[in-house]
Amino acid sequence: MIAALRSLAIFLAIMLGASSALAHEVRPALVQIEELGAGDYDVVWKRPVVGDLALRLEPRLSGGALQQKPAIQPGPGFATYRWKVRGGAPLEGQTLEIDGLAQSVTETLVRVKLADGRSFDWTLRPSSPRLVLDFSEPAGVALPGYLVLGVEHILLGFDHLLFVLALLMLVGRGWQIVKVITAFTIAHSLTLGLTVFGYVSLDTAALEVLIALSIVFLAVELVTKATDRPTLTRRYPWLVAFAFGLLHGMGFASALASIGLPADAVPEALLLFNIGVELGQLAFILTMLGLASLALRLLPQRRWGEALVQRGPALMANAIGGLAGYWLIERTWSALA
């Protein structure tokens, strides 16, 4: 099983390295509108920044209010734009569209608070980049959107997936996998909640460097032969998974904390987001184990299959180490710059 996992993961690692930008958290964008009175409202637009590049997304209201020049505030992970609309067209019935969303791999959360106290939440995705602001429907938070957001977030967080894959390869057997993944899950769920509620914090750039470093650490362990002197990681893999899980949980929270949670349903939205993360992680693990099982049945029947299984561990260790090392250098340079 362990050899098959290592062999199968080569292709995945190559695909992950195709775009270094996607190695960062794929954070959703946010449009937040607060109505002050008829035709008066403040608009906040948070556009994700990946490394030194801002995603090419632009919000547009059909009434033309966002054509004026906004106030711009750069920040870690996001660029924030603010408009103060006075005497504009009423919000009801306007179409909100996110230019560039259809060509992206992220989504946009839309949050509207009306002057009468009602609030509305929507999620725009590449398949549906526009909506008509209709306030006749029941008010409230679109909580199921946070469940979907959690699933999509983990499945597009390629560095987190590569770390989980390295854990699977390192352990490679039944109950050890369960213990290691359970420890990792408990740890990142803990720091996810603590970070969102403001009890712990870490600079986003430094956090991304440490996450890349955690993958490099596991890559070194994969290079080390199991017959050599047992390391702490090989003796207590669950402990290492828990320790690094604390970092990865803060990584999950960086997107959610920057976007924010609905004030009237913070626990529910946070819980659904975390469940979504776990569902996405579980789907990835089961897929990898299923592919490994399939490879064990099919590869030995091929002339080149046996050689691939034998050389897989060294190739995979180099692939993971090289990719994570590149992320580490890139993120460190970006943080210092």
Instruction: Inform me whether the pLDDT recorded for 19 exceeds 50.
Output: no
Instruction: Inform me whether the pLDDT recorded for 137 exceeds 80.
Output: no
42, 84 contact by CB (below 8 A): yes
Q: Examine residue 42 and state whether it is found in any structural domain, yes or no.
A: yes
- Pair (190, 309) in one structural domain: yes
CB within 8 A of 263, min separation 6: which ones? none
Mean pLDDT, rounded, of the chain: 80
Q: Examine residue 146 and state whether it is found in any structural domain, yes or no.
A: no
- Pair (165, 95) in one structural domain: no
CB within 8 A of 159, min separation 6: which ones? 23, 24, 211, 212, 215, 251, 324, 327
Give the DSSP per-residue string, 228-291: SSPPHHHH-HHHHHHHHHHHHHHHHHHHHHHH---TT-HHHHHHHHHHHHHHHHHHHHHHHHHH
- Number of folded domains in the chain? 2
Domain boundary, last residue among 141, 174, 198: 141
Amino acid found at 88: G
Instruction: Inform me whether the pLDDT recorded for 95 exceeds 90.
Output: yes
- Pair (129, 174) in one structural domain: no
Strand pairing category for 58-61 and 71-75: unpaired
Domain boundary, last residue among 92, 115, 141: 141
In the Cβ-directed half-sphere of 191, how many Cα atoms lie within 13 Å?
A: 22
Q: Examine residue 33 and state whether it is found in any structural domain, yes or no.
A: yes
- Pair (268, 180) in one structural domain: yes
Q: What pLDDT sits at residue 81? A: 92
66, 43 contact by CB (below 8 A): yes
Q: Examine residue 11 and state whether it is found in any structural domain, yes or no.
A: yes
Residue with tokens 């789907």: 283
Residues 246, 333: Cα–Cα separation, whole Å: 24
Instruction: Inform me whether the pLDDT recorded for 145 exceeds 90.
Output: no
Q: Residue 209 belongs to what domain range?
A: 2-24+157-336
The predicted-structure confidence for 53-73, as pLDDT tens digits, reads as follows 666 889 999 999 898 889 988
Q: Examine residue 148 and state whether it is found in any structural domain, yes or no.
A: no
The predicted-structure confidence for 231-264, as pLDDT tens digits, reads as follows 778 888 899 999 999 999 988 887 676 666 766 6
DSSP state at residue 125: B
Helix extents (H) in 137-173? 144-156, 158-171
Q: What pLDDT sits at residue 129? A: 92
Q: Examine residue 298 and state whether it is found in any structural domain, yes or no.
A: yes
The model's pTM: 0.73
Q: What pLDDT sits at residue 242? A: 95
Q: In which band, very low, low, confident or very high, does the pLDDT at 213 lie, cut at 50, 70 and 90?
A: very high
